[in-house]
Amino acid sequence: MTTTGKAQSELAASVGLTDADLIAMYRTVALARAVDERMWILNRAGRIPFVISGQGHEGAQVGIAWPLERKKDWIAPFYRSIATCLTFGMTAQDILMAQYAKASDPSSGGRQMPGHYGNAENNLVSLSSPVATQMLHAVGIALAAKIRGTGQVAMTSMGEGSSNQGDVHEGLNFAAIHKLPFILVIENNGYAISVPADRQVATPDVADRAAGYGIPGVVVDGSDVLACYAAAKEAADRARRGDGPTLIEAKVIRLTAHSSDDQQTKYRPEQELAGLKALDALPHFRSQLADAGVLTEEIEADLTASIKAEVHAATEFAEAEPDPDPSTAMRWVYAEEWPSEAPPPWGLGGHGMEGHGGPDDRSAAEGATD
């Protein structure tokens, strides 16, 4: 179905990837969109309670997460990070299981607010509702990676509104001083719910702030997947070399209302909404790959069919799974047995987890009721 082997068009060569990589990236962008569209349908049909959408952010998310290494590096995502999570190993089924809050939902077993994805197996940190708190989690992970000498990189992403929280200053200052292997991604979609960007930030680019920390600040066009990839690759290489953090600001668009509880026509002019589609990464990437001869009509038709089938199967599966048993509501609120606490394949650099709530430490679980 997809291009296989090492075939490399001029376009792929320009960013050091293969044609198969480009097709896989495109499929992830398109899958994220299809899952997201399905979520809105399920919400309107009364099947899931709340949607917070990644539509308009997918191209930047896939491009930026792509150069990070799955199951080695870490990402602390935010509520729009569906495409980031799919790039890093979660599946359409995992995302929908969280939306349905089913007992077997890998994000939280139905404990988290919908849209708060996380996946221990894929080094995706469970996110917290107070925006920007994931900054400190990610910087802490980067510090641990540096101390342990694991060669891992930690990345976090958030919106431009969230970038004004105090945690971001504290985290960036610390990460820059200690040259931590860290990447901060600001997905600037021009709004924090109904508040426009010029009422959130006094400069046109959040990336300008990087200079104040002595680190590079890069602005990328979020509709250009490969430009996002190139910026993140450079940031990841820099982090692994020990040269410290990078701030990447991707200019993205918010194609939907803030959430399924919001009506954006109350505060966004009709003309602005009508112009958004022209800035959408999905059709841009499709034409770019078609023009380069990478995405043929046949490949595109196969991808469309396989994505449709995948989203359909994921929905059917999630629908049929049991809800959590209310008597288990207090489980997993505090640390218990948790698979990711087993040492990763590359080891913990001599810093064991014993006595820190790891699998051998039963003390954390003893107070839990089943």
Catalytic sites, residue numbers? 254, 258, 267
Which of 11, 60, 12 is CA-nearest to residue 32?
Answer: 60
Indicate the residue among 98 and 295 with the shorter CB distance to ligand TPP: 98
Listed ranges 176-184, 189-197, 265-273, 320-328: which one lies at the site for Mg ion (CB under 5 A):
189-197
Selected from 189, 223, 260, 315, the binder of Mg ion by CB under 5 A is 189
How are the residues of the chain apportioned to helix, strand and coil, as percentages rounded to the nearest 5?
Answer: 45, 10, 45
Among Mg ion, ligand TPP, none, residue 304 binds (CB under 5-8 Å by kind): none
26 is an interface residue for ligand TPP by CB under 6 A: no
Distance separating alpha carbons of residues 103 and 366, to the nearest angstrom: 22
Shortest CB 301 distance to Mg ion, Å: 35
Shortest CB 129 distance to ligand TPP, Å: 5
61 is an interface residue for Mg ion by CB under 5 A: no
212 is an interface residue for ligand TPP by CB under 6 A: no
Q: Looking at the chain, how many residues does it have?
A: 370
Selected from 77, 159, 222, 245, the binder of Mg ion by CB under 5 A is 159
Q: Is 246 helix (H, G, I), strand (E, B) or coil?
A: strand
Shortest CB 351 distance to ligand TPP, Å: 32
Question: Could you tell me the two tokens for 237?
Answer: 């290489």
SS3 string, 15-50, reads CCCCHHHHHHHHHHHHHHHHHHHHHHHHHHCCCCCC
Q: Is 303 helix (H, G, I), strand (E, B) or coil?
A: helix
Shortest CB 245 distance to ligand TPP, Å: 19
Shortest CB 165 distance to ligand TPP, Å: 6
Question: Could you tell me the two tokens for 261?
Answer: 């509880």
Indicate the residue among 105 and 160 with the shorter CB distance to ligand TPP: 160
Q: Which of residues 249-278 bind ligand TPP (CB under 6 A)?
A: 258
- Binding-residue total with ligand TPP (CB under 6 A): 14
The phi-psi region of residue 109 (left if phi > 0; otherwise alpha if psi is between -120 and 50; otherwise beta) is left
158 is an interface residue for ligand TPP by CB under 6 A: yes
Q: Report yes or no: 125 and 118 within 8 Å, Cβ to Cβ.
A: yes
Selected from 58, 160, 224, 249, the binder of ligand TPP by CB under 6 A is 160
Q: Which of residues 106-135 bind ligand TPP (CB under 6 A)?
A: 129-131
Among ligand TPP, Mg ion, none, residue 80 binds (CB under 5-8 Å by kind): ligand TPP
Binding mask 51-80 for ligand TPP (x = CB under 6 A): -----------------------------x
Write the CA distances from 125 to 47, 136, 140, 321, 326, integer angstroms: 26, 12, 12, 24, 25
Shortest CB 143 distance to ligand TPP, Å: 23
Among ligand TPP, Mg ion, none, residue 172 binds (CB under 5-8 Å by kind): none
Q: Which of residues 163-202 bind ligand TPP (CB under 6 A)?
A: 189, 191-193
- Please name the residues in contact with 164: beta carbons below 8 A apart, sequence gap of 6 or more: 200, 201
Which residue stretches of the chain are H helix? 10-14, 19-44, 58-65, 82-87, 92-100, 134-148, 166-177, 225-241, 270-275, 281-291, 297-320, 363-366
List residues binding ligand TPP (CB under 6 A). 80, 129-131, 158-162, 189, 191-193, 258
List residues binding Mg ion (CB under 5 A). 159-161, 189, 191-192
